[in-house]
Each structure stands twice: as C-alpha cells, then as structure tokens.
Amino acid sequence: MKIFSYMKEYDYEQLVFCQDEQSGLKAIIAIHDTTLGPALGGTRMWTYATEDEAVEDALRLAKGMTYKNAAAGLNLGGGKTVIIGDPKQDKNEELFRAFGRYIQGLNGRYITAEDVGTTVQDMDLIHEETDYVTGISPAFGSSGDPSPVTAYGVYRGMKAAAKEGFGSDSLEGKTVAVQGVGNVAFTLCRHLHEEGANLIVTDINKEAVQRAVEEFGATAVEPDDIYSVDCDIYAPCALGATINDETIPQLKAKVIAGAANNQLKETKHGDTLHEKGIVYTPDYVINAGGVINVADELHGYNKDRAMKRVETIYDNVSRVFEISRRDDIPTYLAADRMAEERIERMRRSRSQFLQNGQHILSRKQNG
C-alpha cells in the first residue's frame, strides 16, 4: 500500500504507528481531518490478516468519522484507531495503558472511545494515562451504555424520514420491519410501540425476537423473510450491506431508516433506491446518537443536554433530504455533501480570520 499517495488522495492529516514490545501493543491511529475540532473516533481491536489491511481499515474508518461528526453538527474532526490483536486473548492492562500514553502524546488532537473489540473497562485503563478518552465508566463521569441514546436518535431520524416519505412524521399505524433486535433495536422498538407503530421483527437470536413479541406485540418472521414483508418502513439494525442486488427487488417499504452501519453494499445501491423513489436515510446521519452522547462527556456529561442534542438528528436527516431534492442526487451523496459543505465553511472562515489577523499585524508593523 502506498500510504502517502493514499493520504494525499483523500486528504488525511496524520497516521501514527504505536508499538510497545512488553505489552504486545501494535496500534495505528489515523487522523483524517481536524478542521472542525480534535479528531474523535473509537478504538477497534481486530485480528487483521496483514498490516496493510489494518492500515487501510484505520484510514477508512477515520474518514467515516469525519463525515459522521460533521453531519451530526459536532465541533469535532474524524479519527480512528485499530489495535492488531485478538480481543479475546491479547488484552492486558499494560497494552491499554501504553496506548493511553500514545494518545496523551498527541496533546488532544485525537480523542478515543470504545469500538468493535474494546469495552468500557478497556477505556478505563486508557483513562489511567490520559483524559482524551470517552465512553469510560459512569464512576468517572461517563454516560454509561450508549445504546438507549443511539436508539432515540434513530427514532427521531425515522420520524423525519416518515415525513419525507409519507407527508407526516407520525409513526402511529405505520408498519416497521426491524431487522435485528439487539440493544439499540430493542429500545427503538419500544419507542415505536409507544407511538402506536406495528412491528415485524427478526433476529438470529430467537430469545431477543420472543422478547419483542411479548413486550411489543411484534410479529416474528424468519431472517430471510424480513425483506419481502408488507411494511411502510424497513429498519436495518443488524449487519451491514443488507441493501444489495438480491434484497432491493424484494423490498415493499417506501422508507429505509435503521441503526446498522454501512447499510448499502455498494454505492450503486443508493443510486438504485433513488431511482425507485425509496426514501433512504443515510446510516451515519441517523445513527449518530452514540457519538453525540460521548462527545458531551468532553464538557462534563449532562444527560438532558446530550438528549436535546440527539433530537437534532431529526433536523439533520431533514437537511439531507433537502439537499437531495436541491441537487437531484441520491441521499447517500447528499449526506456527504452536507458534511463537506460544513467543513468547507469552517475552513474558509478560519482562512479569512487568519488573513484578517495577518493584515492587521502588517498594518501595525508598517504603521
């Protein structure tokens, strides 16, 4: 992999390689863009087949966080860390504390959080060495389990999508097909049930499905049948790439709005949804409740303030639809454009500020 060529092409700022022989730490911190503020993004621990694969994943995920944070209206840039190792076997206190010292050495340019393969307990160990970490235990002032907040944000975004698709943001009487009934999706189902929506659910975990049936009166279907059910809204809340060549022809939903990451298998599938008139809600806009929540910890966590900020996901989703109509582009491109326009506005503003400052300084020197 030609690292500098890749970084130049996609305008990355910094790539940091961290190793600690005693603990076995091998980590890569990617900082994509800090125009809006310090880079915030989680730490993923995974058994990568090659080092190049790990670098590519860190870079890809960091760029994604730039767009997610910008679209959420946060004053934060995008970054990500990957730690090469088996999260079930290779963890130890020394490893995460060594990693915390590397984060501290970046002097606030990068702030981490938990991600795939890492836990709150791991973040607590990092916190022993640095304050530039979120998602730590509530005892240290953290927000705790982020899934209820993420679910509320998805619920708010779904209401905005319903307004775009049906002319009203009311979900009462609407049939929502929820794929996956994990922690986030279960809480989402509770919000939908309380508003009077009809639920169709599926999951490979039969106990989770049964719980939704019992508590919310949901109808259960087999995993492969969720795409073709008669429904108003399809809510992918499990694995990514469920919107693809095989599933799109089966969909009867007018609206797609769910918590899963990377819902489109390829960008062409976003184009297809646009052509078919299906309202697709870009995942990184609608599922931003978790990052909004942990970002609030940077100011001393206040739940009411965080939840109020999460409510703005409704407005962010609505803005994506406005841009899609304005520019006649698919919503996945509109979301990118919304994030890019915000970053560019701030970049121009800072550039102008610096130019004005230099002009004033020059006048004083020549005065």
* Residues labelled catalytic: 80
Do the Cβ atoms of 226 and 179 come closer than 8 Å? yes
Do the Cβ atoms of 201 and 212 come closer than 8 Å? yes
- Picking from 179, 193, 157, 194, the residue whose alpha carbon sits closest to that of residue 318 is 157
In angstroms, what CA-CA distances link 357 with 343, 346, 347?
A: 21, 16, 15
Residue 60, SS3?
Answer: helix
Strands 25-33 and 14-20: antiparallel
The secondary structure of 86-146 as a DSSP string is -TTTS--HHHHHHHHHHHHHTTTSEEB-B-TT--HHHHHHHHTT-S-B-S--GGGT-----
**Cα 176 from chain centre:** 22
**Number of alpha helices (DSSP H) and beta strands (DSSP E) in the chain:** 13, 12
Vertex 246: Cα angle to 266 and 321 (nearest 5) = 50
- Picking from 34, 16, 12, the residue whose alpha carbon sits closest to that of residue 26 is 16
HSE, CB side, 13 Å, CA atoms: give it for residue 150: 21
Q: CA 286 to CA 121: how far, in whole Å?
A: 27
* The pair of three-digit structure tokens given for residue 279, joined into one six-digit string: 């309202």
- DSSP state, residue 196: T
Q: What are phi and psi of 198, to 5 degrees?
A: -95, 135
